[in-house]
Amino acid sequence: MTRLGISIGTTFAADGPNGQREGPRAVLAQARAAARAGLDSLTVGDHHATGPIGYVQNVPIIGRILAEWTERQSGCLFLVPLWHPVLMAEQIGTLAAMADGPFIVQAGIGAGREQFAAMGADLRRRAAVFEEAVRVAQALLSGETVGSEMFGIEGATIAPTPPEGVEWWIGGGVLRSIDRAARLGDCWYGNADLTPETATRDITVYREACLRHRREPSRIPIRKDVLICESRSEAEKAGDALVGAGYRGFDRTAVAYGDPAGVAEQLSVYRDLGFTDIMIRTMVPLHGELGPDAAVRSVELAGEVQALLA
């Protein structure tokens, strides 16, 4: 059985009289729609210093969502080199203590010179920083007392720690990062830009890395950007326009859009490849020709996709 979850996009336009409030409200609206649809899990992303484009921050928004998202798994992305590992572990520990089930930590290495510069981080050292920060955070979350020469940490401990554990989903799209996921994580998290062909290649690479490191993944998730409408033609018109305008630089076969049956058919290839979880992210902007409620409706219709993929 393939589980269907949601990775809620948290970018928003911060202009207009209520612009600063619209982003958080839009995220909450999609979270509530995901609950109504009965989706299996919910996560949010991480990004920094995006102005003038807004980006709802991960820890406060997932904490707010947890007030309503119950009995199903939740989590969030951390761009690890942009966080001090003790602070990151403390945030994870607190969120996990509030959540139901093992908390999902989606760990990314991050990119973008401007983002790293704004956070005072060294883009050139991000791989080494990532590995040491994950080691420190994992040890702290296990209740250990930790030191790190790289970060100047001595005798650190944290509380609360996750009462039901943490799942580390480590992303990456090159050989080295996929191998890192097998070594350090509970699973590898496939990128949204994967096509059926590249997903076939990368999941094979990951399975080989797991054998090499004698690891058994807890699951193999992938993120997919989707647009779901009642009308297939309406979804195809809007989806074709987004892809034609260069949507995230993705190939058409990396995204899925149409009515629920059509989207389920497009996503079924990833189920058949062995991905255990598909985390959808809506392609609908906050405003557009489909109307302001299109993102929420797309998430609600994902419940029908979930049933068809089961």
226 falls within a domain: no
254 falls within a domain: no
Cβ neighbors of 143 (< 8 A, separation 6 or more) are: 157, 161
Let me know the angle formed at the C-alpha of 78 by 279 and 62, rounded to the nearest 5 degrees. Answer: 65
Task: Write down the pLDDT at residue 16.
Answer: 65
Let me know the angle formed at the C-alpha of 65 by 290 and 306, rounded to the nearest 5 degrees. Answer: 55
* Cis before 52 (ω within 30): yes
**What's the total number of domains in the chain?**
1
Beta bridge partners of 31: none
Beta bridge partners of 8: 44
**SS3 assignment, position 273:** helix
Residue corresponding to tokens 């985390």: 279
7 falls within a domain: yes
Cα–Cα distance, 12 to 21 (Å, whole number):
10
Cβ neighbors of 136 (< 8 A, separation 6 or more) are: 85, 86, 89, 146, 148, 151, 153, 156
Residue corresponding to tokens 């807004």: 54
The domain spanning residue 94 has which CATH number? 3.20.20.30
Q: Which amino acid is at 239?
A: G
Q: What is the pLDDT along the chain (310 residues), one digit of tens a residue?
A: 899 999 999 988 777 667 788 889 999 999 999 999 999 999 999 999 987 888 999 999 999 999 999 889 999 999 999 999 999 999 999 999 999 889 999 999 999 999 999 999 999 999 999 999 999 999 999 999 999 999 999 999 999 999 999 999 999 999 999 999 999 999 999 999 999 999 999 999 999 999 999 999 999 999 999 999 999 999 999 999 999 999 999 999 999 999 999 999 999 999 999 999 999 999 975 445 676 689 999 999 999 999 999 8
Task: Write down the pLDDT at residue 195.
Answer: 98
77 falls within a domain: yes
Task: Write down the pLDDT at residue 106.
Answer: 98
Task: Write down the pLDDT at residue 286.
Answer: 43
Task: Write down the pLDDT at residue 110.
Answer: 95
With residue 295 as reference, give the H or E element that holds it: helix 294-309
With residue 61 as reference, give the H or E element that holds it: helix 58-65
* Cis before 160 (ω within 30): yes
Cα–Cα distance, 8 to 174 (Å, whole number):
24
Cα–Cα distance, 191 to 223 (Å, whole number):
6
**What range does the domain containing 215 cover?**
3-220
Task: Write down the pLDDT at residue 122.
Answer: 96
Cα–Cα distance, 228 to 87 (Å, whole number):
38
Q: Distance of CA 166 to CAs 83, 93, 156, 209, 278, Å? A: 18, 9, 19, 22, 19
The 10s digit of each residue's pLDDT in 158-217 is 999 999 999 999 999 999 999 999 999 999 999 999 999 999 999 999 999 999 999 999
45 falls within a domain: yes
53 falls within a domain: yes
Look up the pTM and report it: 0.95
With residue 215 as reference, give the H or E element that holds it: none
Cα–Cα distance, 309 to 75 (Å, whole number):
23
19 falls within a domain: yes
272 falls within a domain: no
Cα–Cα distance, 220 to 190 (Å, whole number):
8
- Tally: H helices and E strands in the chain: 10, 13
**SS3 assignment, position 25:** helix
